[in-house]
Structure 1
Amino acid sequence: MLQSGLIPADRLTYKYKNEIHANEIVLLAYYIASINIETVYHDQMKTVNPDLEYAPFEGICLTDTFEMYEKEDLVSKVLIDNSARRKRQKNLDIRVIIGNPPYSAGQESANDNNANVAYPHLDERIRTTYAVNSKATSTKNLMDSYIRAIRWASDRIKDCGVIGFATNAGYIDSNSADGLRKCLADEFSSLYFFHLRGNQRTSGERSRQEGGKIFGGGSRAPIVIAVLVKNPDAKQNGQIYFHDIGDYLSREEKLEKISDLVSIDAITAIDGWTTITPDAHNDWLNQRDDSFGEFICIGNKKEKNSLVLFSNYSLGVGTNRDAWVYQGNKKKLISNIKKTIKFYNINLIESEQPKIDVTQIGWSSSLVSRFEGKRKLEFDPVNIRQSIYRPFQKQNLYFGGGLTHRVGQMPQIFPTAEAENLTICLTLSGTKGFSVLISDLVPDLHLIGDAQCFPLYLYEETSTENKADDLFSHAETNTADGKYTRKDAISDAGLKHFQDAYPTEIISKEDIFYYVYGLLHSEDYRTRYADNLTKELPRIPCVKKAEDFWEFSKAGRDLAHWHLNYETVEPYKAKLDLGGKSLKQLEDKDFYVTKMKFPKKDQKDTVIYNNAITIREIPLEAYDYVVNGKSALEWVMERQGVSTHKDSGIVNDANDWAIETMGDAKYPLNLFLRVITVSLETMNIVRSLPKLDI
């Protein structure tokens, strides 16, 4: 601000002494900031008054800005001058707030021991404004530090003023920030957003388009400069202006553009602002197709009485300690679990607080709560089962037993290791595109992004009172052990919805299940409703013609066949370079894989499997089958290898799964060849789907 030239030289001293304020909570940064401000001021004043005496900057406070407004200064008797500055600042009529607020929605895990501070008053303001106006199921990300900064700053300038923030750009188009966007449009008269891109949570071509990270290695998030204006004399609120910096720019090119533009006026001069009119969903960018709302929703947990296709669904299993509870080798898994249980139970006896030791245990809020409740952990071999961890990669999982952070509705979907079920797992992603994959095993939360899983069946524990009734119920099936009753997950209302659409057809709930799987692979559907699918769960249209319904349903069955049986389908006959040997001459050790790789970045027709084996003549069209932003083949390449968890040192070796579970050292090689087949067959089915005629 001092260097900007906005403050006239004859007003600079007054501003410096009375009207410029800064807060910093980290002591070293506080001193550095203070020295920087003082140095800049005196440099600016040299040209005006060379004989000016040194004047310390008294507008800086050692404080947590948010906490200043929550409670009184706890160290006022120790830092008397600082306390006086805090009180003075709080009482001032502040009209301009500028900054680069930190962004953190919370610690990665309880092991970080760095949870966000709670601010009861500020957080309540967010709940009664941004959260209340949101239609998102989860609004926990609204407690991100930078969103707190926006809420605090808007309240602090009251009805007149300007906020200038450089922050994470997520709130511009994320689903969870719809209520925030509504409030911004209501509270501010003019809103300017200069989007600097740089989202490195994307992949492939999209990542290259996003360009360089504005803060270098400091953040993978996209960045936006926002200037928010409250003008009480404005005739209309919510005038939103947006400017995108452009595709494929390096960090240096972006910074140069920012320096050249200097101000809002310069973007106005080049006619660079796009005016945004929010839609009914409070979307600003990539606005949804409203016709989407006419279709039946696949599921809805917020509006309990709405018409839905699936009566229940679940996120995948979130462990928050994958290294400990997932493993290719069952014996290693048992050893890891027993070690961490032993560490936990000793800690429970010896200490009042969880001991943070990332080599021994992965803490999460649920495990901390268990610890605080003085509840022991006990190993139970029944909790070991197979899981689908990532696309086309199975693992042994220790499920439950106090070591799964969030089980979701999985106990109703896969109550036992023997319970048969299918789930359509899908992800809503603004960065990697919509994705879907079927599973017959417990899916991990991050199977494909944050996986929402829609099952064919739901299981309920069988009670003695209703056993007799079950004998006469055609809609229910008891499991072999008699402990669970199995029901269809597709609702009766959902079945009727489709039966009414095709009154001459005999349609089952299973037919609808596979219709959904087929339809969600439709490139027509994904393209037409791309903006909807980044922000809300799919809605399922009824196609016009019954024959198209059956084509989608059959395609869904065929796709499910390839995606579920990928370990047993015929391997693609790619050329194998075995160093002059034949397959029969190779020993088990020759198939050991540590990391598959391409010989060159763009040479994807060849994969170096290991030192003994190279796969050649891979059809490039096989890479067209993409799951969660990456081709199925590249998922196999990434996951079939050896990885070491950096904190615990736990090694997970895909070759263990090959030998111990599959009984075949060649499994990783054959898996790659089989997934070529799966990919080619998938794309053949997808490209032959009927045109989406609704």
Structure 2
Amino acid sequence: MPINSSGMVTARDGITIWIDKKSFESFLKKFIQLSADDVRSEYKLGDDTKDWSIERAQADVKSNQLASCIARVEYRPFDYRWTFYTGQARGFICNPRRPVLQHIRALKNIALVVNRQVNNEFRHALVSRSLIDTCTLSSATRETAYIFPLELSVEGGLPLLDLIKHFNFSEDFLKTFKEAIPNINPSEEFSEKIFAYIYSILYSDSYRLRYAEFLRIDFPRIPIPKDMKLFLNLSALGERLIQLHLLDEYQIVDSQISYSGNENIQIEKGAFTLDTIWVDNAQTSGFMGVSEKIWNYHIGGYQVCQKWLKDRKGCLLSKEDIRHYQKIIISLAKTIETVEQIDDVINEHGGWPNAFLLKEI
């Protein structure tokens, strides 16, 4: 996937990334009215830097319409927040990575997010329809998130809507894949299935174990399947993982995950006991029916369920928050099930390395 880059760098997360959209809109209106000194004092900002200043950030906001530029960012796994995105470098966002993130702004586009290097175990893979921060998968040194959009729009303006799309695969890559599976027909569906196949491989526990040392030092390399059946089976499981990680199409009523306690309770330190994730220290309100395996599940450098609550300490838990957190729990539960199926399919086709060609892409 030749079009890629690291995630955006805001330089000032404290004022550029917001949990609540309405509060963010109010902030932006106030932000452009205050003097630079008043902004610095009220929001406890340090000195300007070469690549970010209050006055340039204000100018970026003033010269664009608020409604069209407020955009969702997946700040951490399943943690959707809001920012002001115009694509202007050294504006409201220090480095917006416009050449790549402009494609994420395209309608219904998705991107693969992985790290080039990891310090320990490789768990650093995600898909998203949102803008991506450099620390979306990890805040550890060296563990920078990189974005690989699936689709590329022909033109480069914002917003990118109703434009002709191309897929972000090189010709050499597609040629190699077609040579391995000659009866594949090039099509939009074919490209989407390759994307899903790649995602399933990245979530294979046996793949992560087999290539552990390499995954610490460079981008993942993807083995080519030996036959169509393996490709389609893994692609189907990858498609399921993609839906899970986009939090698509969940029926909360069908889940055993329930919330018991008060709405609008103040979130304190999240804790796990007795198959329940508690949101308050007194353990009067929490999400029930959660396994320890789900509570401990990591994506990248973050323990997902714990991280979402920790970053909202002091906030009130709304009805919308409850539903979203239930979706996260269900997504992780079904991810664990799907990952087991991925390795089962690989083993049914001969396991590693027999199920794949020696050449990797």
Task: State TM-score, norm by structure 2.
Answer: 0.78
Secondary structure of the corresponding residue to residue 175 of structure 2: helix
CA distance in 2, matches of 1:333, 1:430: 34
In structure 1, the residue matched to 2:233 is 551
Deviation at 1:391, TM superposition (A): 0.8
Secondary structure of the corresponding residue to residue 542 of structure 1: strand
CA distance in 2, matches of 1:515, 1:594: 38
Q: Deviations over 1:587-622 (max 9, x none)?
A: xxx3334225226xxx36222223652334422232
Is the counterpart of residue 312 in structure 1 residue 3 in structure 2? Answer: yes
Residue identity in the other structure for 2:50: S
CA distance in 1, matches of 2:60, 2:207: 47
Q: Is the 8 A contact 1:576 1:616 kept in 2?
A: yes
CA distance in 2, matches of 1:355, 1:674: 38
In structure 2, the residue matched to 1:452 is 146
For residue 270 of structure 2, the aligned residue among 583, 591, 597 is 597
Is the counterpart of residue 679 in structure 1 residue 332 in structure 2? Answer: yes
Is the counterpart of residue 496 in structure 1 residue 179 in structure 2? Answer: no
Q: How many residues align?
A: 326
Tell me: CA distance 1:365–1:330, structure 2 relative to 1, closer, same or farther (3 Å): same
Q: Is the 8 A contact 1:422 1:438 kept in 2?
A: yes
Deviation at 1:625, TM superposition (A): 3.5
Deviation at 1:513, TM superposition (A): 0.9
Task: Give the alignment of 1:170-189 within 5 angstroms.
Answer: none
In structure 2, the residue matched to 1:606 is 276
Secondary structure of the corresponding residue to residue 252 of structure 2: coil
Tell me: CA distance 1:598–1:329, structure 2 relative to 1, closer, same or farther (3 Å): closer
Tell me: CA distance 1:331–1:688, structure 2 relative to 1, closer, same or farther (3 Å): closer
For residue 94 of structure 2, the aligned residue among 405, 412, 422 is 405
Q: Is the 8 A contact 2:256 2:289 kept in 1?
A: no
Whose RCO is larger (CA < 8 A, sep 6+)? 2
For residue 223 of structure 2, the aligned residue among 524, 541, 555 is 541
Residue identity in the other structure for 1:598: A
Task: Give the alignment of 1:115-130 within 5 angstroms.
Answer: none
Tell me: CA distance 1:340–1:429, structure 2 relative to 1, closer, same or farther (3 Å): farther
CA distance in 1, matches of 2:31, 2:126: 32
Residue identity in the other structure for 2:331: V
CA distance in 1, matches of 2:24, 2:147: 25
Deviation at 1:422, TM superposition (A): 0.4
CA distance in 1, matches of 2:147, 2:177: 21
Secondary structure of the corresponding residue to residue 618 of structure 1: coil
In structure 1, the residue matched to 2:80 is 394
Residue identity in the other structure for 1:443: I
CA distance in 2, matches of 1:443, 1:336: 22
In structure 1, the residue matched to 2:141 is none
Deviation at 1:515, TM superposition (A): 0.8
CA distance in 2, matches of 1:569, 1:322: 34
Q: Is the 8 A contact 1:317 1:407 kept in 2?
A: yes
Deviation at 1:673, TM superposition (A): 2.7
Task: Give the alignment of 1:254-293 within 5 angstroms.
Answer: none
Tell me: CA distance 1:326–1:673, structure 2 relative to 1, closer, same or farther (3 Å): same
Residue identity in the other structure for 1:555: L
> 509-518 or 605-614, which moves further after superposition?
605-614
Q: Is the 8 A contact 1:433 1:628 kept in 2?
A: yes
CA distance in 1, matches of 2:75, 2:47: 18
CA distance in 2, matches of 1:670, 1:331: 19
Secondary structure of the corresponding residue to residue 238 of structure 2: helix
CA distance in 2, matches of 1:405, 1:519: 34
For residue 52 of structure 2, the aligned residue among 362, 367, 388 is 367
Q: Is the 8 A contact 1:570 1:674 kept in 2?
A: yes
CA distance in 2, matches of 1:406, 1:325: 12
CA distance in 1, matches of 2:47, 2:277: 35
Is the counterpart of residue 438 in structure 1 residue 127 in structure 2? Answer: yes
Tell me: CA distance 1:323–1:540, structure 2 relative to 1, closer, same or farther (3 Å): same
Q: Is the 8 A contact 1:434 1:534 kept in 2?
A: no
Deviation at 1:624, TM superposition (A): 5.6
Q: Is the 8 A contact 1:488 1:509 kept in 2?
A: yes
- Larger gyration radius, structure 1 or structure 2: 1
Deviation at 1:640, TM superposition (A): 4.3
Q: Deviations over 1:495-530 (max 9, x none)?
A: 121111111233521111111111111111111111
Tell me: CA distance 1:363–1:605, structure 2 relative to 1, closer, same or farther (3 Å): farther
CA distance in 2, matches of 1:454, 1:337: 30
Q: Is the 8 A contact 1:490 1:513 kept in 2?
A: no
User: Could you tell me the percent identity over the aligned residues?
Assistant: 21
Task: Give the alignment of 1:206-355 within 5 angstroms.
Answer: 310-343=1-34
Residue identity in the other structure for 2:17: Y
Unmatched segments (≥5 aa) in structure 1 = 1-309, 348-353, 464-477, 579-585, 643-652, 656-664
Root-mean-square deviation over aligned CA pairs: 3.2
Tell me: CA distance 1:328–1:462, structure 2 relative to 1, closer, same or farther (3 Å): closer
CA distance in 2, matches of 1:498, 1:636: 39
Q: Is the 8 A contact 2:104 2:149 kept in 1?
A: no
For residue 527 of structure 1, the aligned residue among 198, 203, 209 is 209
Secondary structure of the corresponding residue to residue 366 of structure 1: coil
In structure 2, the residue matched to 1:669 is 322
Residue identity in the other structure for 1:637: L
Q: Is the 8 A contact 1:387 1:397 kept in 2?
A: yes
Residue identity in the other structure for 1:330: K
Deviation at 1:562, TM superposition (A): 0.9
Q: Is the 8 A contact 1:567 1:671 kept in 2?
A: no
Residue identity in the other structure for 2:102: Q
Unmatched segments (≥5 aa) in structure 2 = 139-143, 357-361
Q: Is the 8 A contact 1:387 1:396 kept in 2?
A: yes
Q: Deviations over 1:209-253 (max 9, x none)?
A: xxxxxxxxxxxxxxxxxxxxxxxxxxxxxxxxxxxxxxxxxxxxx
Secondary structure of the corresponding residue to residue 684 of structure 1: helix
In structure 1, the residue matched to 2:104 is 414
CA distance in 1, matches of 2:27, 2:248: 29
Q: Deviations over 1:354-382 (max 9, x none)?
A: 979861577443125986xx994443312
Tell me: CA distance 1:544–1:459, structure 2 relative to 1, closer, same or farther (3 Å): same
In structure 2, the residue matched to 1:66 is none
Q: Deviations over 1:334-355 (max 9, x none)?
A: 33334444456679xxxxxx97
Deviation at 1:531, TM superposition (A): 1.2
Tell me: CA distance 1:641–1:396, structure 2 relative to 1, closer, same or farther (3 Å): same
Deviation at 1:556, TM superposition (A): 0.9
Residue identity in the other structure for 1:413: H
Deviation at 1:456, TM superposition (A): 0.8
Residue identity in the other structure for 1:399: Y
